[in-house]
Structure 1
Amino acid sequence: MSTKLEVIWTPQPNKFITWGTDICLYELQQLRNNSNPNIKLSSTYGANLLATNTNHHYVKCLDIHPKVDSDLLMAIGNIYGKVTLSTFGPSSIFDAQGLPGKDFVPRHSRPCNTVLWNPIDNNVLAVGLEKYRSDFGVLLWDIMKFPTSTENNSGRLSMNTVQLAVELAKPTAEFGISESAHSLDWFRSSSKQMAVGMNNKNIKLLDFRDPNKVVISNLTKAVYGVCVDPHNEKHLASYSDNQSFIWDIRNFEKPILTLSHAKPLLKIEWCPTKYNLLGALQKDSSCITLYDIQHTLVGNEEIEPSVLERNVLPGSPHNITSFSWHASDENRFLTIALSGSIIDYTVFDRITLNWGATSHVVWTYGCKTMKYIQDNTLNDISYKIKKRAKLEYGLKDEFWKNSEIIEDEMLSNVWNWLYLSGKLVDKGVFGDKDIVRGAYCKHPGVQSILKIDPNSNKSEVVNMNWADLGNTNCTGTIRVYRHDDRQKAMRLCSWHFDSYTNALLEFLQQLEKDQSCTRAAAIAVFNLKIKLAIEILGRAPDHAHNGPTLQIVAMALAGFCDDKNSTWKHYCSALRTKLSDPYLKALFAFLTADNYNYDNVLNENGIAVDDRVAFACMFLPDNKLHSYLKKLSETLTEEGNLDGLLLTGTNADGIKLLQKYLDATGDIQSTALIGVQAFSEDINSDAVKGWVESYRNLLDTWQLWNERAKFDIMLSAYRPNEKQPQQVFVSCNFCGKSISACMQGLSRTRGQFTRMGSAANNNLKMSSCPNCRKPLPRCAICLMHMGTKLVL
């Protein structure tokens, strides 16, 4: 009886065989709601037992006939050396040929180590046997030349028939007298060539067309599991103990690769569906080790292969005894364990993602399929850049028009701020605009405008009574700081309504139209217009965001009292944190602040940066104002938040901020456009030049030639002194060499170009190539030679 448990796929892709004590045939079945297969192989497949063959004992090896038919023919070798052909029950095809039940018996009994059908000549069966002193270790049988039984009229075999049977029962070829054959494999390119592991000491390459049989031989103990790579017959693999070897038959003396394993090996097998993938099974192991062998050529020389190793756990709870690759399904194999459990497993292959020039993500899905994701489904930064470029983003004549194209709120705010700051500079709000620009402040930041000195040029402190502001329930005062620089900074923040009540009303009305009611109410409160804030919240429509809630907030705000011991202040201070809207939280934080501590307002990240800066300019003392603005600028720069340009302006700190933004988002388009148009004084810096070239190359990659040309035209307006390099050259039709050196005022003397010195040579007249002396092409209209006259 056999103690082995083996599994093997049949040529029929939906059937497999297991064998040990019995030989069983199974058919795959997909798992569905109503399906109930005999065994479950995976989450998607099960199998039903179709037939069992119990007629064979002491089975040592087995192979299935490679012909794909509805019937299966097996060659079964036992421990006595006999090879029997068998099927699972009646076979209309093979029974007609008289094949089932045929025995192929060597002259001397010894164990049969391996049987293997020829993949080309399917009638030929190779058998590897143990050593016998006067017999061969490798036998080839032709199953169609085996005699059939014929009886005479008396029911007995004639003497001629018996004599013919003895002659025809001989193998068609023999090799290896007094030698053992441990394993063998056919070469797929020829039906007469095979590799055999023999005698525990060598692998021999046989060609049965050669009378001498032996072609090549080496010395090695790795004679087990010999298998030829199905995709490259120059390579074969074998193993011994806990080492496997990869051989190149062109240089068979030593292996090109040696793989070491922790335990002795039971089986190795090449994957038939993937190049250079070798599977290995170790003893007492529940995993399959896969070796992806990468062969590399340097010139015409093949260097030592590199190997990627993976351990695959099919999920068997017991040690695996065998595995079998599927012949057609990629990376799929079966395993069988000591317990008899069978697992159907597909290896998830490593994939290589490729990002196309058209922003498509492409990857391989097996050997025959490629999948991709279109850029419009990714919605990543490259897709956005391409979409914006086609809309002429960043090329508008007014900065604010770019904000209408962009969907990003932060970028929209940046372009609007650049438009505002540029207008303020042109109007001379910050002083002499020529001096400002000469100091590299075309778009000055708040930090560069605030030149307040607490010692000599400090701000004015104004204490205002709440009662004077129309709040009759209040008896205290509110402290406000005034300074010309503060007013200028607030104008940069769009808070230019210190003495312009109408401007404040117009600004708040616009916010209401934009459905930013809470922001409008908060700004009104920050400008000490509490009644106006109540009206704004009361007018909030019910369908607006938090509409009914805002009207309740208006009721709460109507009871404002500045007494620090008042019930209103106590409860509003406690319940403020439960509000979700940042502007409402800041509004009540301002009204309930103790000792003019406005940290809860200034550190509320949901509030726009320009509102926080304007609030700081209005309510913080000089020393705290500088400290807060410096800390906020550093934080925004580190985050790559372009709202920080309000603080830095277009200087070196602004360049650093743009670089941080680029690192965080990959938006080379906005970085380059802002760098060119807002940092015109630094346009020739290395950073800006790098951004510009990267964006130009990106447009070229996408073949957006019109957009690239428009960008270059815009760029030339900011670089009026920069001359574009020559991009068109004249070359000879015959030799192909450039003649532009001569056209630029150089003459050739003894193979060298020299500068022409006389004024008469300023009008160059050439009729031939200075390199090959062949005539230059003529104009189709005037018949003058091209390049005849060039006035330098």
Structure 2
Amino acid sequence: MGLIKKVTTWSYDDLIDYLSVNPTRDEVTHYKVDPQNEEDDSIMKMHSVKDFGNITCLDYSDFEIGLVAVGEKGGYIRLFNVMLGDGPEYDPIDIRTRAKQQRCVNTLGLNNNGLIAMGLDRNRTDASLQIWDINYQSTNSDIVNPTFSYCTNENIVSSKFLNETGIIVSSTKFLKEIDIRAPHPIYQHPTRLSYDIKLNPFNEYQFSSYGDDGTLAIWDKRKIANAAASSDLKTAEPLLVFEKLVGLGAASKKYMNSCFRWSTVRNREFATLHRGDMIKRWWLGSCGSAEEAEDGVEELFVSTVRDINTTYDRVVTFDYIPQSNHRTSIICMRQSGTVYRMPVHQSYTNAAFNNYNSLMLSNCEVPQVDELRITGGEQQSNIENVNKSMRRLSFEDLDLENDYMPDADDNEEEHGSLELTDGEENAHVSENNFSILWKPENLLEKDISVIIKTRAMLGYGLDPMSTVEMIDGSKTLQNNAYIRNTWRWLAIAKAAVDDGTMVSGDLDLGYEGVIGIWNGLSGISNQNRLREGKILTDKHLDKEIEKIIKLRRKHKHALGTKSGLSRFSDSPKLIQRKLCLIISGWDLSSADFEEKYQNIIKTGSYEKAAAWAVFFGDIPRAVDILSSATKEKLNLIATAVAGYMAYKDQPGNNSWRQQCRKMSAELEDPYLRVIFAFIADNDWWDILYEPAISLRERLGVALRFLNDVDLSRFLERTSSTVIENGELEGLILTGITPSGIDLLQSYVNKTSDVQTAALISLFGCPRYFKDKRVDEWVQTYRSMLNSWELFAMRAKFDCLRTKLSESSSGQIRADVKPRQMYIQCMNCKKNISKFDAGPTTKLSNISQPPNSGLSLSKKYGMTNTPSPLERQHRKQSCPHCGTPFPRCVICLLSLGTSNLPFVINGASGEQLGEEEQSDENCDAAKEPTKELESYERKKLRLNEWFSFCLSCNHGMHAGHAEEWFERHNICPAPGCSCQCSK
């Protein structure tokens, strides 16, 4: 059986020394290994000594570099310097000796003082453990002259020097520790687990051994010594016992048995070899610490076991190769004597994501944490830039830019695309089945949390139209077409709410969907669409809806579009159908149709323009559109469609209809498919069943041509489908209603995009209804923003929620967060604000409570109106105790004074920044937007606010403080040396 043994003290460079004995046990080889190089050429064979006679044991000297001792089965011990083994002029064998009674040498040990301990087979007259000094051994005699002798009539099978004077020895019957300065052992303990003692390099008290049947034991010599203190011999009690772990018949392979190795990298780890093709790594844990134990001995247990399949089979021995960063690899010897190294791929045992979606990884082997960090470029917030001037939109503009398609990412390196022939596919996938996977960094960058953070930094969702423009202009967002179209519908619906065209009297239908309007009272019964205390009947509802329709008509004229209503069938739900057509964008006149055709044709989508003509029931116009196309294929299709005019009135089946059905099944373009499907059977359901057509287009066909029963069935079936699938574009059908929240819940379950769900739901909740799911989304999104330290965006989100919760009557239905900071009076310690607005009160409508005294004075003709001087004094003093506000140390006017006789501009740096920005955007400088003007007004108001130094308590206007400390460091108050700016 072969042997590989790591030498820890010979090298002064970065290489590691190893000694090996080949499986035939007749050659000793010295290797040097580069631990950091995982290639096989990192194992360098340095020296080799041959012609031994059946080597049974081997040891080396830690003190003298290159000194090796070898024991042979014939009883001889050979000492030589392996570093000189290849020199032809030098005899590598320095000493060749044996015991007086020649017999097999089972074990050898060298210490730093030059002592050699050899364990021999049993002999009645000659001691089996003989310790002699290499410095006093005669080279003229081949018989050893022992200095110390122990264990007569015993079979010594293993021994290890603990230090210069102590040695632990085991025979087939006893385990004992000997101090060579004493004539008798310190202790001896009966045990059958006595072969191949190996010391733990991290714990001087622990060692291992095994028994005849391969049972492995882990010992602590302190516990053995304590147990042996009694006069009666007691059976040994190892810390851990592993039954038959190192293989059956281990005793027959006792010479240089190497199926066990203590780790030289990590404490409480060892490895064992099994079946020649698998190495098991064992990690031990302890119950408590050694200091807490009474005898100082740890209670060990097995915490983890990992299997490592060897690179090649028939491995007979191995050892650790320690590497940097507490990593390791393994050097192995096969039965043929070939030596190779095998990397150990460490698997992570713990993984966690931080708030920035970087993956934190750790394992039990390495005392450090690896981080897989997302290093994409930081997106700067452009919330000031996204508030572009939005032109007035109506529901008829829903189809604008409807052909938007996000840019496809064709980076094969990121996506690992495969293009294989049928013959190569199976073989390639079996060999490289990971090639279709994304790289970890790319996968994390595409994670929804990273996308949510990027969107938030850009002001996603704070304004619907700006969000649409943001999606159009960014490639890093998850800019799917359905998200973009949903925000566009929200932008148009919000514009309708803002201009009041969806409100009539006591009824507010803002953000309502098609199905809610179609179902009448039952569709809005679970929402707060009426003023408080109002009761709505079916007739009243029809009147209010008709008012909204007329209001929309006036708004449509104001927009400059052409008016006109399509012809509807005689229906009891005519009013609902008209409003449904309006909010779905299909309330178009014949002149509007032509305008839509031309807009679509400009994009080159002749197929879609022809299909829209069919949707409006104008087959001849569809033929004209296809005939005007430059593609010959479309001209031929126009000829086939023209046959509809000849066969539409002929009942029954014919070859033309059969050919149309065939083409509707074979054509790739969905619009051409629905054209042929309709003209073949003249059935609108053929269009409604086509999933490739957008929901809004199918909805327009249904509203225009289906009767009430079929339309109700279509709307119910379609709404159930979009809610179940979480299709965002289905919000045009459900609206921002409880049904819409069900749709958003399915969307969140499918995509985990809680950001979009929270922002969209704000437009209807809690203004029209309340839902616990929305509250959960809102709180989750707020927590995410706080964890990313996007506090400004979180504050804007809170303000948006409060603003959108305001009903048409001015009532705020959201729970307004109380102010976290306010200015208190230095005298009475109260808030200087007179009144606190309640959560359900419109902030702009806050008025003074009625004054009973004032009412009485008016009743009796008395006036109690304060003078202008008194009113000004009240504004400059505490409303509770009347204490005057402190004065600004710059202008000496009281803080809180309104309508100052001068303008406070603040720091000049901001003005310079604005000038630079205006140079870059000349158009914006020439035509300042309302948003910029509003920002300037708010900035000037902010410059008049209170500003205090927390050190010296001197106050000044905020703008004056900016102007002063831009050029000075000392407080402007006379006699004050406080450096307020620091």
Determine whether 1:501 maps to 2:501. no
Determine whether 1:445 maps to 2:440. no
Q: Over residues 692-750 of structure 1, what are the superposed CA-to-partner deviations in whole Å (9 max), with x where a residue is unaligned? A: 222222222222233233323333435656353575799xxxxxxxxxxx989xxxxxx
- How far apart, in 2, do the equivalents of 1:682 and 1:452 lie? 16
Q: How does 1:235-384 map to 2 (within 5 A)?
A: 235-240=206-211, 241-247=213-219, 254-260=237-243, 263-264=247-248, 267-282=259-274, 284=275, 286-295=277-286, 297=288, 305-318=301-314, 320-328=315-323, 330-338=327-335, 344-351=341-348, 352-363=350-361, 367=366, 370=370, 372-374=372-374, 376=376, 377=442, 378-384=445-451
> 459, 472, 488: which is aligned to 1:416?
488
> 723, 748, 759: which is aligned to 1:662?
748
Contact 1:638 1:657 in 2 (8 A): yes
> 9, 17, 22: which is aligned to 1:19?
22
Question: CA 1:779–1:415 in 2, change beyond 3 Å: closer, same or farther?
Answer: same
Q: Which one is further off, 606-615 or 17-26?
A: 17-26
Aligned-partner residue type, residue 451 of structure 1: N
Q: Over residues 628-665 of structure 1, what are the superposed CA-to-partner deviations in whole Å (9 max), with x where a residue is unaligned? A: 43333333333332223233322333223222222222
Residue of structure 2 in register with 1:55 after alignment: 51
Residue of structure 2 in register with 1:103 after alignment: 96
Contact 2:170 2:194 in 1 (8 A): yes
Question: CA 1:134–1:517 in 2, change beyond 3 Å: closer, same or farther?
Answer: farther
Question: CA 1:780–1:527 in 2, change beyond 3 Å: closer, same or farther?
Answer: closer
Q: How does 1:177-256 map to 2 (within 5 A)?
A: 179-184=154-159, 196-202=169-175, 211=182, 220-231=191-202, 235-240=206-211, 241-247=213-219, 254-256=237-239
Q: Over residues 183-226 of structure 1, what are the superposed CA-to-partner deviations in whole Å (9 max), with x where a residue is unaligned? A: 45567xx6766655544554x56677x75896777665433344
Larger strand proportion of the pair:
1
Question: CA 1:136–1:604 in 2, change beyond 3 Å: closer, same or farther?
Answer: farther
3-state SS in 1 of match to 2:305: strand
Determine whether 1:585 maps to 2:673. yes
3-state SS in 2 of match to 1:528: coil
3-state SS in 2 of match to 1:326: strand
Question: CA 1:723–1:431 in 2, change beyond 3 Å: closer, same or farther?
Answer: closer
Q: CA deviation at 1:58?
A: 1.7
- How far apart, in 1, do the equivalents of 2:357 and 2:351 lie? 12
Residue of structure 2 in register with 1:400 after alignment: 465
Q: Over residues 255-306 of structure 1, what are the superposed CA-to-partner deviations in whole Å (9 max), with x where a residue is unaligned? A: 5544445753662213333454422124x55322232334465996877645
Q: CA deviation at 1:393?
A: 0.7
3-state SS in 1 of match to 2:762: helix
- How far apart, in 1, do the equivalents of 2:119 and 2:654 lie? 103
User: Normalising by the residue count of structure 1, what TM-score does the alignment of the two structures yield?
Assistant: 0.70
Residue of structure 2 in register with 1:571 after alignment: 659
- How far apart, in 1, do the equivalents of 2:310 and 2:767 lie? 64
Contact 2:30 2:48 in 1 (8 A): no
3-state SS in 2 of match to 1:680: coil
Question: CA 1:625–1:532 in 2, change beyond 3 Å: closer, same or farther?
Answer: same
- How far apart, in 1, do the equivalents of 2:322 and 2:719 lie? 64
Determine whether 1:598 maps to 2:666. no
3-state SS in 2 of match to 1:660: helix
Aligned-partner residue type, residue 725 of structure 2: E
Q: CA deviation at 1:56?
A: 0.2
Aligned-partner residue type, residue 395 of structure 1: L
> 59, 76, 83: which is aligned to 2:70?
76
Q: Which runs of 5+ in 1 are unaligned?
A: 31-41, 150-156, 458-477, 542-546, 731-741, 745-761, 766-776, 784-792
Q: CA deviation at 1:443?
A: 1.8
- How far apart, in 1, do the equivalents of 2:119 and 2:818 lie? 76
Q: Which runs of 5+ in 2 are unaligned?
A: 9-14, 228-236, 251-256, 377-441, 472-478, 522-537, 540-566, 806-811, 824-828, 832-879, 884-949, 956-972, 974-982
Q: Over residues 406-443 of structure 1, what are the superposed CA-to-partner deviations in whole Å (9 max), with x where a residue is unaligned? A: 32222212212223334455677777474345xxxx42
- How far apart, in 2, do the equivalents of 1:553 and 1:175 lie? 108
Determine whether 1:707 maps to 2:774. no
**Matched positions, count:** 670
Contact 1:15 1:27 in 2 (8 A): yes
- How far apart, in 2, do the equivalents of 1:387 and 1:487 lie? 41
Q: How does 1:668-683 map to 2 (within 5 A)?
A: 668-681=754-767
Aligned-partner residue type, residue 596 of structure 1: D
Q: Over residues 552-602 of structure 1, what are the superposed CA-to-partner deviations in whole Å (9 max), with x where a residue is unaligned? A: 54554445454664444323322333333333333333333x373725x33
Question: CA 1:222–1:433 in 2, change beyond 3 Å: closer, same or farther?
Answer: farther
Residue of structure 1 in register with 2:610 after alignment: 521
Larger helix proportion of the pair:
2
- How far apart, in 2, do the equivalents of 1:581 and 1:717 lie? 45
Question: CA 1:60–1:44 in 2, change beyond 3 Å: closer, same or farther?
Answer: closer
Question: CA 1:341–1:668 in 2, change beyond 3 Å: closer, same or farther?
Answer: same
User: Normalising by the residue count of structure 2, what TM-score does the alignment of the two structures yield?
Assistant: 0.58
Residue of structure 1 in register with 2:105 after alignment: 112
Q: Which one is further off, 399-408 or 633-642?
A: 633-642
Q: Over residues 300-332 of structure 1, what are the superposed CA-to-partner deviations in whole Å (9 max), with x where a residue is unaligned? A: 6877645333333225455x4323322448442
Question: CA 1:604–1:424 in 2, change beyond 3 Å: closer, same or farther?
Answer: same
Aligned-partner residue type, residue 489 of structure 2: W
Contact 1:447 1:648 in 2 (8 A): yes
Question: CA 1:726–1:296 in 2, change beyond 3 Å: closer, same or farther?
Answer: farther
Residue of structure 2 in register with 1:614 after alignment: 700
Q: CA deviation at 1:126?
A: 5.6
Question: CA 1:360–1:513 in 2, change beyond 3 Å: closer, same or farther?
Answer: farther
Question: CA 1:105–1:401 in 2, change beyond 3 Å: closer, same or farther?
Answer: same
Question: CA 1:260–1:29 in 2, change beyond 3 Å: closer, same or farther?
Answer: closer
Contact 1:268 1:280 in 2 (8 A): yes
- How far apart, in 2, do the equivalents of 1:522 and 1:616 lie? 14
**RMSD in angstroms over aligned alpha carbons?**
5.0
Q: CA deviation at 1:392?
A: 0.7
> 802, 810, 815: which is aligned to 1:722?
815
Contact 2:200 2:206 in 1 (8 A): yes
Question: CA 1:338–1:236 in 2, change beyond 3 Å: closer, same or farther?
Answer: same
Contact 1:481 1:618 in 2 (8 A): no
- How far apart, in 2, do the equivalents of 1:583 and 1:201 lie? 92
Aligned-partner residue type, residue 610 of structure 2: A
Q: CA deviation at 1:77?
A: 1.7
- How far apart, in 2, do the equivalents of 1:363 and 1:529 lie? 64
Question: CA 1:58–1:711 in 2, change beyond 3 Å: closer, same or farther?
Answer: same
3-state SS in 2 of match to 1:102: strand
Contact 2:82 2:92 in 1 (8 A): no
Question: CA 1:420–1:270 in 2, change beyond 3 Å: closer, same or farther?
Answer: same
- How far apart, in 2, do the equivalents of 1:249 and 1:176 lie? 20
Contact 1:73 1:86 in 2 (8 A): yes
Question: CA 1:136–1:550 in 2, change beyond 3 Å: closer, same or farther?
Answer: farther
Contact 2:81 2:92 in 1 (8 A): no
Aligned-partner residue type, residue 481 of structure 2: E
- How far apart, in 2, do the equivalents of 1:14 and 1:682 lie? 79
- How far apart, in 2, do the equivalents of 1:108 and 1:247 lie? 33
Determine whether 1:385 maps to 2:452. yes
- How far apart, in 1, do the equivalents of 2:638 and 2:32 lie? 72
